[in-house]
Amino acid sequence: MTTTRQETDVIAPPAPGRWRLFGVFAIASLVVAQVVAVVISPPDRDMGHLQKIMYVHFPIALNMFVCYLVVLIGSVRYLMLRSERADLLAASAAEVGAVMTGLTLALGMLWAKPTWGVWWAWDPRLTSTLVLFLLATAYLALRAFVDDPERRATWSATVGILGALNVPIVYMSVRWWRTLHQVQSSPSSLDPEYVIGVRLNLTAVLLVTVYLIHSRYAAALTERAAENRAMAAALGANHGG
Amino acid sequence: MTEQVSAPRRKLPVLVSSGAALVVALLGWLIYGGLDKNIVYFLEPHELLARGTDAVDSPVRLGGLVRPGSVDWNESARALRFDITDTTQSVIRVVSTGQPPQMFRDGQGVVVEGRLGRDSVFAASTLIIKHTNEYRAPKAGEHPREAYKTLFKGAGP
């Protein structure tokens, strides 16, 4: 009864390929970008060396949006095409996205305490980011609780789309509402010494993000292929071949 | 068997599209509705003063810029007094205890939590820095955080 889906959407474990090399390159580029950014940038006039948290907080925050974009694409694709791969891709991106949202919050708090004077403020930017983190963890919890793969995929796709719709709210919150968090910096609001470091780290974190999503996706495909084989074997045994 | 499997699928588009419609409506309300006036993390001095006597003794967040030249730090009492001002030039005197965050200085954006007293002085329990999106290298001969060190000489973590 489920053979129709499996015929059109066969999951095979991915070939290792050049991804390992890409991963080494991504992590090395992050190390280089961090070192370069920290070494070439002078302390900020008002903030001193605390400014350097920018090189991790901001690139991770922006690239977490990339993760949720992948979640959105995967979720919509699953609902439209019922593609198992799309579901697994969305789940992989959500995992990476949840970690990066958690990191954004944690690094933001470490930055806020010495600059703002408080660890946390219930302003629209921080609150909407916390909601995004809770939606991402809810998505992962939902996947862990639902056993039936089709139901899990459908439900989590719905939550995934809801979570992704929160992203524009998080991004625009500092412009729509009066917040404690400052509006986005731009190359004109940063001295050139800081812009280079930000650009390098945005790129490096993007590479690491792509690598992490791919690694998780490859693992998910391997796992699903094994599950499908076990399922086919069990069904075969029950129905006598 | 086949019907059992495909039945939830037929219900799904209705569920998903109604959920999506709800979310889109909510988003539209957030963006274009009256919420932009309501979601404010703090009030500016002119907004707090406009409340008149209603503002007295009610917990609120007040935000604006530290009026240059208004800062008075009493080292022995660890009492900090300064004016918060806004674009309308409204001014509210603030009193706060303890050393402020290190970015505190003349002209800095701040948000204070506390209550406006009957004497029109705002008693702050928390002092928070609100900084801009600008990051600038020190000019020649300038040291970072110099203003802070001059103001709070000897103090510091």
Q: Which residues of A199-220 are buried (b: 16+ CB within 10 A; e: fewer)?
A: ebbbbbbbbbbbbbbbbbbbeb
Domain presence at residue B20: yes
Question: CA A30 to CA A52: how far, in whole Å?
Answer: 15
Tell whether B57 and B108 lie within a shared domain: yes
Domain presence at residue B145: no
Which among B138, B10, B61 has a CA at the least distance from the CA of A49?
A: B138
Q: How many CB pairs under 8 A join A and B?
A: 122
H or E element: which one contains B80? Answer: strand B79-85
Instruction: Count how many Cα atoms sit within 13 Å of the Cα of residue B5 in the half-sphere of its side chain.
Output: 10
Looking at residues A158-171, what average pLDDT do you find? 92
- pLDDT of A10 > 90? The answer is no
Residue B115 belongs to what domain range? Answer: 45-137
Instruction: Yes or no: say if B69 and B91 are a contact pair by the CB < 8 Å rule.
Output: no
Interface of A with B (CB under 8 A): 1-2, 41-48, 51, 54, 79, 114-118, 121-124, 151, 154, 158, 161-162, 165, 168-169, 176-180, 182-186, 189-191, 193-194
Looking at residues A130-135, what average pLDDT do you find? 93
Domain presence at residue B67: yes
Residue A15 has φ and ψ, to the nearest 5°, of -75, 145
Q: Are residues A79 and B16, on separate chains, in Cβ contact within 8 Å?
A: yes
CA distance B18 to chain A (A): 11
H or E element: which one contains A78? Answer: helix A54-81
**Which residues of chain B does A4 touch, with a Cβ-Cβ cutoff of 8 Å?**
none
pLDDT of residue A228: 86
Q: Phi-psi region for residue B98, left (φ > 0), alpha (ψ -120 to 50) or beta?
A: left
Domain presence at residue B93: yes
Q: Are residues A177 and B39, on separate chains, in Cβ contact within 8 Å?
A: yes
Range list of β-strands (E), A114-208: none
pLDDT of residue B4: 45
Tell whether B54 and B124 lie within a shared domain: yes
Residue B130 has φ and ψ, to the nearest 5°, of -115, 105
Domain count, chain B: 2
**Which residues of chain B does A47 touch, with a Cβ-Cβ cutoff of 8 Å?**
103, 131, 135, 144-145
Tell whether B70 and B18 lie within a shared domain: no
Tell whether B53 and B76 lie within a shared domain: yes
Which value does ipTM take for this structure?
A: 0.82
pLDDT of residue A138: 92
Q: pLDDT tens, A190-219? A: 999 999 999 999 999 999 999 999 999 999
